[in-house]
Amino acid sequence: MDEFLITKIEAWPISLPLREPFVVATGTMSVADNVFIRLQLQSGICGLGEMAPFPDISGETQAGCLDVFRTVAPLLLGQSVLQWRRLAHELAEATSVVPSVRCGLETALLDAFARAINVPLWALWGGADVRVRETDVTLAIGAIEPVLKTAEQWFTRGFRVFKMKVGQDVDKDIRRVEAVWRAFPRVSFVIDGNQGFTAKEALDFLRAISRLHVPVILFEQPVSRDDWDGLLEVHRQSAIPIAADESVRSFSDARRLIEADGVDVINIKITKCGVRESLDIVNLVRRAGLDLMIGGMVESRVAMGCSFSLVLGLGGFEFIDLDMPLLLTHDPAKGGYRYEGCRLYPWASAGLGQELDTDQSSFCVIS
Ligand SMILES: [Mg+2]
């Protein structure tokens, strides 16, 4: 079984520019400064992973991720990917405050494992529902005219669910959502507050939107992640389903929120707590009878391919928000799942099925 032993792990920083500045309630990003990982087994088989820190949302940075990587990656050397769940648990203990690193290393472990046994990553989760899926597309906060122009481009490409970022200014948010809806009356909307509102502002927003009859199918993270009373209040009074994103960054967050009957939907992101803990949260959400959403940070198809594998392998995700690689100026990966308009097509090759350029001079090698 020596072929499954981990012999080398490399990480290198990568800058992924966005087509347009990504403005959300808590900040702006023009370039995603991420980190790619390549983890090699004794057999020579490699797995890929990606860390996608979003400083204004999670407080993580590229430099911080690389520092933590240097500290924790040696824990994996000489270990077997056959025990990926144990290794993921150890990583969680060692990197509790830097979930991007867990996400990147766990993805690389799982990709290497799936490639070593020659199955697509989604097969590891059971292949529950391997079909083409449709994603929403995100419209960041901005002035009405440019947002309408961007919306037009996505609509032409076939997108019919717009995820609109709000949370900086209630009146402007209402006017912008209304303008997009009037221009594209056949589209439905997911609204993401990214913690920007107070409960009162969120309820004012919801009242205005319902008076206008805008077809909103979900309202994500209206209030600050620690404002549980506010979240519960919005949930109690809202006719539209409420989703928790930033409020659920761990299994215990999810359990607490479900016990408090605080939301209808939980947004699963492997960048918030790694893959293993995300799997545990998915089970919990299902047992509670709530709906599942899946999303990500500003990331390439490497991290997002792992998230898509959960959709295909586990099934049952009601809300799919896997558009981020489309918002980047270029795609650093080849192979794996592909986009056609709003559709994501499953892949059949082993692991993530993706390759990254190998002429990168690696920044950090652990062997
Ligand atoms: Mg969100």
Q: 173 and 51, same structural domain?
A: no
Distance between Cα 191 and ligand 1 center (Å): 9
CATH at 20: 3.30.390.10
Q: Are strands 133-134 and 46-51 parallel, antiparallel or unpaired?
A: unpaired
Q: 298 and 196, same structural domain?
A: yes
Residues 83, 299: Cα–Cα separation, whole Å: 27
The 10 Å Cβ neighbour count of residue 75 is 17
Distance between Cα 249 and ligand 1 center (Å): 12
Distance between Cα 26 and ligand 1 center (Å): 11
Residue carrying structure tokens 């990926």? 84
Distance between Cα 124 and ligand 1 center (Å): 27
Distance between Cα 298 and ligand 1 center (Å): 11
Distance between Cα 219 and ligand 1 center (Å): 9
Q: 155 and 60, same structural domain?
A: no
Distance between Cα 147 and ligand 1 center (Å): 19
Ligand 1 ion local residues (Cβ < 5 A): 192, 220, 245
Q: 162 and 311, same structural domain?
A: yes
Distance between Cα 267 and ligand 1 center (Å): 7
Distance between Cα 194 and ligand 1 center (Å): 6
Distance between Cα 50 and ligand 1 center (Å): 19
Per-residue pLDDT of the chain (367 residues; tens, 9 = 90+): 899 999 999 999 999 999 999 988 888 899 999 999 999 999 999 999 999 998 888 889 999 999 999 999 999 999 999 999 999 999 998 877 789 999 999 999 999 999 999 999 999 999 999 999 999 999 999 999 999 999 999 999 999 999 999 999 999 999 999 999 999 999 999 999 999 999 999 999 999 999 999 999 999 999 999 999 999 999 999 999 999 999 999 999 999 999 999 999 999 999 999 999 999 999 999 999 999 999 999 999 999 999 999 999 999 999 999 999 999 999 999 999 999 999 999 999 999 999 997 656 668 888 8
Q: 176 and 68, same structural domain?
A: no
Distance between Cα 197 and ligand 1 center (Å): 13
State the first-to-last Cα distance of the chain, in angstroms, to the nearest integer: 19
Beta strands, E only, 210-303: 216-220, 242-244, 265-268, 291-294
What 3-state class would DSSP assign to 217? strand
Q: 326 and 214, same structural domain?
A: yes
Residues 77, 95: Cα–Cα separation, whole Å: 16
The DSSP call for residue 362 is P
Instruction: Decide if 231 contacts 244 (C-beta within 8 A).
Output: yes
Model confidence, pTM? 0.96
Distance between Cα 287 and ligand 1 center (Å): 23
Residues 226, 126: Cα–Cα separation, whole Å: 35
User: Which residue segment(s) compose the domain that 54 sits in?
Assistant: 2-118+359-366
